[in-house]
Structure 1
Amino acid sequence: MPPKPRFYLPRLTKLSTHSRLNALCALIALLLLAVQYAFFAANPAVTLVICVGVVALALLLRRALKPLMLEIQALNLHAQNLQDGSFNTSANQLKIYELSSLANSLNTMSAQLRAERATLYQRELLLDTVLQSSPTALLLTDASDTVLMSNPAARLLLNGGKAFDGSKLFAVTGMQPELAVALQNRQQGLIRLENTEQTVWHLSVSQFQLNQKQHWLYLLKPLTREIQREELNAWKKLLRVIGHELNNTLAPLSSLAFSGGQLAQQQHNAALGQLFDTISERCQQLNHFVQAYIQFAKLPPPQCSSINWPRLINQLQDQYEFELQGELPDSSWQADPQQLTQLMLNLLKNAHESGSNPEHISLRIKQTPDKLLLILQDGGGGMTEEVLQHALVPFYTSKPQGSGIGLTLCRDIAEAHGGSISLRNQPPGLEVTVQLPRQTPMAL
């Protein structure tokens, strides 16, 4: 047999405050009426007085509890605002009396949540700024290799600067095959990519859980400049050691050659004197050669000041002939005048030694709000791909009498200023671009 249905009376705790007050007044009225009919004779006037009194009591209780109900409504509204994420509101303290301690607690909580949200927003803004301006390419994908987030460096490296969020990672058409294989295999380590400004990259892959779902984070950090800088520092250290040893040998050897020449002259031995003169001359030439490398190895930090462009151009044209195209910069730029002059002289020297006619050598200076471009063009026919690839490597030269430190010194000076140097074949010759960032006197 099915169980019989049970009927429950509503609990008083489930009733509203007004309903409970009305129930209490009704109960009092019933008790008074029961007492009247039990101990006193039925009197309509007394019954009416009891009913009117109970109604008046109910109205008085409702009126007495109205301020408290208003306080509760204000606190409920404040709590709802907190639940909705609005932390800039608070309970009206002018209307809160009985529940002031609760109102103060809610206001304190609101202020704390407001401060924490502002801190969190600032951290998110800082993180987004770092990601957007970082040279490291960042990719975030889900378990199905759908790209959820990418920064500008990743878009430039993988898809020519175009956004591809929401696409499948391995469906991106602009990705180089070597990079696609490394990402697909999640091969962490160094990767060499051609046809990019930075040829050496380091790939790191991380797996983590986000919202109970698997995600993959790919980081591609450019290492070409760091490797070149370490390579250059190693060469400089080697040069300082070799230069020190050669100087220790050349100094006494040159002194002995001079003394031997004096002795041969006293003995009127021309052949022996010529031999010592030859030794002395070779020691002097070798000393100049060593000093040039030592000077390169001991390039001091740039002492930046405002560049006087007319004076710089005049100094360059006093040494080499070239055509200045366009106008000189009209704003102040900070750099080391001596090092910048040495850099441009080396580039002009190479342009003239390339076989270019002087009238085909030109210099253009472009300025943007954040960087300066010095573009030197010659008409010497350019470089072969092999020479162009190794032109900035220390001691590499294609000239019979070259030292291989001219362009390396130019790169060292540019990087010491926080800039860079790049070479490319641009008919009728080679185009060299020196990029220098804007620096303020406060940052120097």
Structure 2
Amino acid sequence: MIRRLRSLEGRLSLLLMLAGLAGVLVYVGITDWPLPQLLALLHTDAKGVAPGPVHLGFGAGLAVSLAVLVPLALWMASLAMSPVSRLLRALEGSVASYRDGDFSISLAVNRRDELGELIAMHNALGQTLRDQRQHLVQRELLLDTVVQNTPVALVLTDAGGRVAYANIAARHLFNDGRSLHGLVFADVTADAPKAMREAVERGEDALLTVEMDNSEETFHISQRAFRLQGRPHRLLLFRRMTRELSRQEVASWKRVIRVISHELNNSLAPISSLAHSGAELARRGEVERLPGVFATIGERARHLHGFIAGYASFAKLPAPRKAEVPWGPFLEGLALHCRFRLLGGAPAQPGWFDAAQVEQVLINLIKNAHEAGGPDDEVTLALQVLGHDLRIEVADRGPGMSETVLAQALLPFYSTKRSGTGLGLALAREIAEAHGGRIALANREGGGLQVSLLLPLAATREV
């Protein structure tokens, strides 16, 4: 009960009760007692005789009561609302500070009513916002430290092409370590190598090699457009790839040397042994066994020749001679070399590629699909036009590939087959990229592998 009386509702109820009681007392005092008796005493005549009490009528009593009660009510309302008004003004100022990003204000008002609870919640909100601001500042500081010290040159430009942000690597790359903030990035790159400047102007990702500081540097340029605070911005990343590419080149050469050495040893060791055996048979006059020895030597020599020829074809892949390719003759020729089931028919629009190279890619892919171990009638070929691109899909119902194999299957010299060279899929990737396309591998739902070859159509061919 005491708690309820201390509440704002209890206080207002008590105030209204007091106001009503005061109104009744004022009305009675004016119309009945003691005001009529006082007025009678004031009108005592010369003989000292006082007339009877003067009783006011209802209307006059009500009017006089209102004249007394209205100023009293206004004064009591002002007295009651004064702390509430001060608190509301304080809350208004605090909310305005929050709107401006200042969360340092707390209200020190000790009340035990609903307004006190509101003040406590307000102060808790301010503390939460201060903690979040502090954590945000710490995260921004950490992010800025990471971005500033990354070896990747980072430049953020606004809609007008001016630099809004640049890290240390960008300042050293473009402005000898000086600040780039506020400069027009096109002016900054005016003295950059031509290939880099043209890549920035195109607004596309690029991998290029340029001459810098009397040496060649390879850069990977990444560009992304987005909106920051409702305004368009562009983020440019310049990553030096020279050292990384050198490491990859060395690793690739080591892998090549290991594969070639292994294959040469596997072929030359039996050839050397058979040659020694053939010489011994000839010395002993056992010539009837020599044809078998020579046949084995010839077989190993042919295998070694094919192995070396495969590497040579990968290293010396000619530039594709793109031409319009009608689907009817192309698919008929492909069917002479391998078995597949065509899904959905051929597109009405002809292809635009080097028929010999793409045919070799499809032969290898369909051959791999048959060797995967699934049913032969589930090896399918599908042709589909997607916008300005042609999608060729070769699929099977074999066991598919693990995630590890999928991640490395397109790398040169990687093979899961004991006798594989690891060049089939790598050659397919090389041919696809030479056509301006790409190749992708994915496991199918229900089992099997799907290889997708994406090539540009004639609508986007070079003029």
TM-score where L is the length of structure 2: 0.43
Question: Max radius of gyration: which structure?
Answer: 2
TM-score, L = length of structure 1: 0.45
